[in-house]
Amino acid sequence: MMEEQIRSALLGYFIGDGFGSQTEGLRNEEILELGELREVYSFEEAVPHCGISSYVSDLPLLYGLSFLELEHIDYDHLRSTYSRYIKEEPAFLDGSLSEFLSHPSEKGEKTIHLTRVVMSGILSALLAKDTTRNLIETEIGLTSTNTIVLEAGKLYVSALVALIHQEVSSSDELFAFLMRSRTIDDELKTIIQGSWNAQEPKLPEFDYSTHLRAALLAIFSTLHTTSTFIEGMITLAQGGGSARLNCALYGALAGALYGEDQLPESWISELHVSSALEAMIKKQTLYRRETLTFEKLADSLSRKLGAFEE
């Protein structure tokens, strides 16, 4: 069962990156002009790169592969892996990643620092607490030392772990669980409370879509006020802005909440591995001869990571 939950979370995350690729960096009015958003390739003519993974999916995948290779978390190895990926020059890399990795700063509360947090959540669900106690802070600390960013990582990981362990079975139960937690920052609990009270998704204005608090409110309020994985994904993608990461972070939570049955197979089949990720992975013997798809990667990772359940 744990393996199935991990697979659903990973697939939901990958779908979010691919689906959100269509509206990344666009304003709502620009999206409306493109037409109806229903498939990963709805806007293919206007957005040629849609469906191709970005650092949003690629970095947490490399994080998981690093753990499997070493059978423990080595932060120097992760930093080196991320740096090598950046040098592959993927087509849609956020230029600030290299700067953040070289000079982690207390300044700025950007959602980009949560790019790898889905894998921290999965590992936290599998490994003993004494192993993962400082995992979130240390991994996020590779790109940010901002206190609120670190606390946001704890919030997201707590939510994902509860869903993977099936301690909760609805958004109401999830939010009640998070509000009771003694390890989540009170300031961030206001975002959970605001999401819980919301009657509709609280999508940020374009200029604030990369800001941590606005993004978290959008993700959690969408999880609460929509009733299906597809509805939530389309809703967030239509908000544009930082659509890839916002949709991915929503997708992992929604995937674990709703289960794989709600994940549209057509969307999964339309996802493509970036050339940068393929180059990185195929340097490892384990995948060298395989045709890479996100479905295969999610299946392989969930199965191999599940073997480390403690």
d(CA 73, CA 70): 7
Query: For residue 208, what is the DSSP state?
Result: G
**What's the pLDDT band for 230 if we cut at 50, 70, 90?**
very high
Q: Is 120 exposed, middle or buried, given 0-12, 13-18 or 19+ CB atoms closer than 10 A?
A: buried
pLDDT in tens, 148-182: 999 999 999 999 999 999 999 999 999 999 999 99
The C-alpha atoms of residue 196 and residue 198 are separated, in whole angstroms, by 6
Q: Tell me the average pLDDT of the chain.
A: 93
pLDDT at 222 exceeding the cut of 90: yes
Global confidence as pTM: 0.96
pLDDT of 128 > 70? The answer is: yes
Whether 7 contacts 262, CB under 8 Å: no
Q: What average pLDDT score do residues 63-90 get?
A: 91
Tokens coding 280: 């990185």
Least confident residue range of 57-66, 223-232, 281-290, 293-302: 281-290
Q: Determine the pLDDT at residue 91.
A: 60
Out of 34-48, 193-207, 234-248, 251-265, pick the least confident. Answer: 34-48
The first and second tokens of residue 211, run together, are 């800001």
SS3 of 185, please? coil
**How far is the C-alpha of 207 from the C-alpha of 216, rounded, in Å?**
15
pLDDT of residue 120: 98
Cα distance between residue 97 and residue 276, in whole Å = 15
State the Cα angle at 62 between 152 and 161, rounded to 5°: 40
Band (pLDDT 50/70/90 cuts) for residue 287 is low
pLDDT at 286 over 80: no
CB 8 within 8 A of CB 256: yes
CB-based contacts of 248, cutoff 8 Å, min separation 6: 13, 14, 16, 17, 20, 56, 57, 118
In this prediction, residue 289 carries a pLDDT of 64
Q: Residue 88: its pLDDT value, please? A: 82
Q: Please give the pLDDT value at position 96.
A: 85
Lowest mean pLDDT among 65-79, 81-95, 195-209, 262-276: 81-95
Smallest CA-to-CA distance from 18 within 251, 295, 263, 271 is with 271
Average pLDDT over residues 1-9: 93
Name the residue ranges covered by the structural domains of the chain: 2-306
SS3 272: strand
Residue 285 has pLDDT above 70, yes or no: no
Contact predicate 263/252, CB 8 Å = no
Check pLDDT > 70 for residue 310. no
Residue 276 exposure: Cα atoms within 13 Å on the Cβ side: 23
Minimum mean pLDDT range among 10-24, 59-73, 87-101, 114-128: 87-101
User: What is the DSSP annotation of 40-102?
Assistant: TTTTTTT-TTTTB--HHHHHHHHHHHHHHHHTS--HHHHHHHHHHHHHT--TT--THHHHHHH
d(CA 266, CA 162): 28
Position 288 scores a pLDDT of: 60
What whole-number distance in Å separates Cα of residue 29 and Cα of residue 32? 5
Residue located via tokens 């960096």: 25
- Most confident range (mean pLDDT) of 14-18, 87-91, 93-97, 289-293 is 14-18
Digit-coded pLDDT (tens) for 234-271: 999 999 999 999 999 999 999 999 999 999 999 999 99
Lowest mean pLDDT among 178-182, 194-198, 277-281: 277-281
Cα torsion angle, 201, 9, 216, 111, sign: negative
Number of residues that this document lists for the chain: 310
Q: What percent of the chain has pLDDT over 90?
A: 79
Q: Is 291 exposed, middle or buried (0-12, 13-18, 19+ CB in 10 A)?
A: exposed
| Cα–Cα distance, 13 to 244 (Å, whole number) | 10
Superfamily of domain 2-306: ADP-ribosylation/Crystallin J1 (1.10.4080.10)
Name the more confident of 151 and 96. 151
